[in-house]
Amino acid sequence: MSEKIYELIIVGAGPAGITAAVYAARKKLDFVIISQDIGGQAAWSGDIENYTGYQFITGPELALKFNEHMAAFGIDVVMPRLAQKIVKEGNIIRVTTEKTEYKARAVIIATGKKPRELGIEGEKEFKNKGVTYCATCDGPLFRDKPVAIIGGGNSGLDAALQMMKISPKVYLINNTAELTGDRIMIEKLRQSTGVEVRNNTVVVRISGERFVNGIEVSQNSQVYHLSVKGVFVEIGLIPNSQCAAEVDKNTQGEIIVDCRNRTNVEGMFAAGDVTNVPEKQIIIACGEGSKACLAAFNYLATHAA
């Protein structure tokens, strides 16, 4: 355990955490950024068309740009580090990971979200054997194979748009009456003859032997078997907020912050998808990360060490 006390710890290196780190470097703060990876959910995205300054960029390319920006400031991310507990004792905040403990006067929690699971038969058995939660990461493994995308929001549409380029048949399984993603994405999807959208449909079972070979779906009280080799689960995300037991959260588990990214615990700030700020977008997370760092800087300047 290090006895060093930083001014600031940034937990998470997704868009919010990385932007906070760049601002912390510009403010000459003594800080450390710890994370499991670089890029967070942004690195999992396919085609990104709504990030200012880029008419088009992929998730992995944007994550690389983020990394290059940090490198220009000499920022190193300590990883892989999973924050298990964040607690405040007196004026010091302790961040405990699976390997060590870090201490600081302030912390920015930018831990993002993790994929939500279906919770059905066959999901755990075939995880990484045909069941995946990231089309950007694993999509190429299913080239020329039929696949199913579970989810009718932007995540599901993004996965379908990626897979329709390399898969002969894509089933898009949506449990509501209509797709709920962005209209421009829906229009692109409708132009493909290889995508079959099934609304009002739920997956009840994933089947296979050594690897996935199909799914059972229920549609209008009828059960159908669809032959697929890959199942991409894109039904939403869960906040990675368990590590911060002291901060207030909403019913979805998101950390509640005010307009300056302050939590109910003095010295603890939060930014990005882990918070209750509406609209989970990369560009919004970046803005929230900068706000959180500026608020943390003000806190450090006005509170004695």
- The active-site residue out of 30, 47, 76, 138 is 138
Which residues are paired to 9 by β-bridges? Answer: 32, 107
CA 284, CA 217: separation in Å to the nearest integer? Answer: 36
Catalytic residue status for 243 = no
* Residue 158 dihedral angles phi and psi, to the nearest 5°: -60, -45
- The active-site residue out of 30, 76, 137, 258 is 137
Q: 195: which DSSP letter?
A: E
Catalytic residue status for 259 = no
Pair of tokens at residue 148: 């199913």
* Three-class DSSP category at 163: helix
Cβ-in-10-Å burial (0-12, 13-18, 19+) of 256 comes to middle
- The active-site residue out of 134, 243, 286, 293 is 134
Catalytic residue status for 134 = yes
Task: Answer for the pair 212, 203: CB distance below 8 angstroms, yes or no.
Answer: no
CA 159, CA 57: separation in Å to the nearest integer? Answer: 15
* Residue 203 dihedral angles phi and psi, to the nearest 5°: -85, 130
CA 136, CA 133: separation in Å to the nearest integer? Answer: 9
Instruction: List active site positions.
Output: 134, 137-138
